[in-house]
Chains A and B, each alone.
Chain A
């Protein structure tokens, strides 16, 4: 079985983000690029499934990102993925969610898969819409928020979290699946994994390989970014020392009353 995992390369979510007021862009100096956290969970799910299914099951990671970020993908290989595909092209720059999924779907069709595992949310784009758009373009089912998955008789049996509980669903292959964070904590790359990753292949793909009918990148985008600004400064508010419970409670209560929150 061939499992493919999409991995977005994003500015480190743990870094304090700063926006340059002059350029209205994210200050990237000193901010490392990392694997999108949700995608590490997706990869963990793929690796667990590979261990469980065994046989000739393989895990390929796929990213659409500038060529310069290629080495960041090694982390996924060090965690245990077998190989990687990187779709890079100047013509993809400025793609919106529609263009990203349209281009990615065409590339993933070429890569081929039985199971495509996509992260639930990217830290920078944060639409959560990519998995659905990919499934639609790839004409496969979509099963999101899986916390458990198994393959039996060529079908996927998935336990998934919903807004109000959970469901057990059965899906044919190929399918697009996303994982909930409860699927399992992403593993650390072992020293052996890190060494081994250096020898694994990262295949390159470009726009010309996809044969798209519609233009992507900034020109083809269906939405445009008008502004990107820091949030209104949330300055340090009042700090009140409370001698006892009643004083502390009253300080909060009075404040909430003033704000019309009680």
Chain B
């Protein structure tokens, strides 16, 4: 396990920020392992994305604009990565810990007979051995695990955990051959982008989340969204808010919703039930706005402001906007 390969998940060349975080991480790890940093970009729009990736510190970007990648589910990607891994030789393969990334990572575990470390937030290389730090059980435990050798290892990478930094000599862009003689089983009949153009919750550096204390759907639009926007962040919610139909379930954070770990989490009118806590407790900084000083969220927030959200949030939005100007 000496080289590093980044699987670049994208749609028509649009890729989440975690790709660039992984490209930066790959360089660092490859240098420590004494190997090369590679990236694999396949599917429509790949060549365009490869141009952007060139300015990240990678050695080689392997590209194919193969439309089959988009027409079939998963199988073509696995075939390309398998081929790339075998061509590059013993490597650590980095995959984003996203819905789509997990599928690819799982298939590779069996395809390459490799170990996996999941949702990594830090790495250490000790005597050529790769160790990963991973929060588990909703952040109740921090674990460290190491690969026991083996030619290949898979790591899924938590978005926002590593910094993205362009630079480097400029990667060589190389075509990668389409694997021959493969059949793909699952046909994608319809592919719908619910393109709100907004940042995915798990990716957002700042999350402004609302709960039952907001009393209805409107404050999410008129109050939380503008604040989130000032931060370049996204809006989330408690289950109570999703159950009430104020926001879609895709915004729910917690045990039965999404797990987020932004640099800053602002909980507005959320009491901080354990099922909510497990979805956000590993956020960098937690700020709560709650009119009840005894709300459980105060027990694990870095700052709790006791007061009326409807009075505080608009004022805060103004302050943040003014600071940016």
A residues contacting B by CB (< 8 A) are 11, 13-14, 16-17, 19, 26, 37, 96-98, 101-102, 105, 123-137, 141-145, 161-172, 175, 181-182, 214, 221-232, 234, 236-253, 255-257, 259, 261-262
Q: Which 5 A-B pairs have the closest CB atoms?
A: A132-B106, A222-B115, A245-B311, A242-B307, A249-B315
Nearest A residue to B307 via CB reads: A242
- Indicate whether A248 sits within 8 Å of B289 (C-beta atoms), given known contacts A227-B143, A239-B298: yes
Nearest A residue to B110 via CB reads: A136
A170 touches B189 (CB 8 A): yes
A236 touches B306 (CB 8 A): no
A226 touches B145 (CB 8 A): yes
Main secondary structure, interface of B, reads mixed
Nearest A residue to B95 via CB reads: A129
- CB neighbours (8 Å) of B74 from chain A are 141-142
- CB neighbours (8 Å) of B156 from chain A are 127-129
B302 touches A167 (CB 8 A): no
**Count of residues in B whose CB is under 8 Å from the partner chain:** 102
A37 touches B255 (CB 8 A): yes
Cα distance, A243 to B311, chains bound together (Å): 10
Chain A nearest CB: distance from B122 CB in Å? Answer: 12
- CB neighbours (8 Å) of B282 from chain A are 231
- Indicate whether A229 sits within 8 Å of B256 (C-beta atoms), given known contacts A141-B73, A169-B73: no
Chain B nearest CB: distance from A140 CB in Å? Answer: 8
B107 touches A135 (CB 8 A): yes
- CB neighbours (8 Å) of A142 from chain B are 73-74, 103, 106-107, 186
Q: Which of B117, B185, B194, B315 contacts A171 (CB 8 A)?
A: B185
The stretch of B44-52, B133-141, B173-181 in contact with A is: B133-141
Cα distance, A142 to B100, chains bound together (Å): 11
- CB neighbours (8 Å) of B116 from chain A are 96-98, 127, 129, 223
A97 touches B186 (CB 8 A): no
Q: B114 an interface residue at 8 Å Cβ cutoff?
A: yes
Q: Which of A124, A134, A165, A236 contacts B299 (CB 8 A)?
A: A236
Nearest A residue to B300 via CB reads: A234
Cα distance, A186 to B117, chains bound together (Å): 30
Chain A nearest CB: distance from B191 CB in Å? Answer: 5
B110 touches A165 (CB 8 A): no
Q: B164 an interface residue at 8 Å Cβ cutoff?
A: no
Cα distance, A229 to B139, chains bound together (Å): 10
Q: What are some 17 contacts across the A-B interface (CB < 8 A)? A: A26-B137, A98-B116, A101-B106, A125-B118, A126-B118, A127-B156, A132-B105, A167-B192, A169-B73, A223-B115, A225-B144, A230-B141, A236-B301, A245-B308, A255-B302, A255-B303, A262-B324
Q: Which of A165, A166, A181 contacts B249 (CB 8 A)?
A: A181
A226 touches B118 (CB 8 A): no
- CB neighbours (8 Å) of B200 from chain A are 163-164
Cα distance, A60 to B97, chains bound together (Å): 30
Q: B residues 285-324 with Cβ under 8 Å of A?
A: 285-287, 289, 293, 298-308, 310-316, 318-320, 323-324
Nearest B residue to A243 via CB reads: B307
Cα distance, A95 to B145, chains bound together (Å): 13
- CB neighbours (8 Å) of B140 from chain A are 17, 19, 230-231
B100 touches A244 (CB 8 A): no
B195 touches A165 (CB 8 A): yes
- CB neighbours (8 Å) of A101 from chain B are 106, 109-110
B119 touches A127 (CB 8 A): yes
B316 touches A124 (CB 8 A): no
- CB neighbours (8 Å) of A257 from chain B are 323
- Indicate whether A226 sits within 8 Å of B110 (C-beta atoms), given known contacts A129-B156, A141-B73, A240-B303: no
Chain A nearest CB: distance from B75 CB in Å? Answer: 7
- CB neighbours (8 Å) of B154 from chain A are 129
Q: Which of A143, A181, A244 contacts B311 (CB 8 A)?
A: A244
Residue among A145, A225, A249 having the largest count of chain B Cβ atoms under 10 Å: A249
Cα distance, A253 to B73, chains bound together (Å): 46
Residue among B11, B189, B286, B305 having the largest count of chain A Cβ atoms under 10 Å: B305
Nearest B residue to A118 via CB reads: B106
B103 touches A131 (CB 8 A): yes
Nearest A residue to B118 via CB reads: A127
Nearest A residue to B252 via CB reads: A181
B102 touches A132 (CB 8 A): yes
- CB neighbours (8 Å) of B119 from chain A are 126-127
- CB neighbours (8 Å) of B186 from chain A are 141-143, 169-171, 175
Q: Which of B147, B293, B305 contacts A251 (CB 8 A)?
A: B305
- CB neighbours (8 Å) of B182 from chain A are none
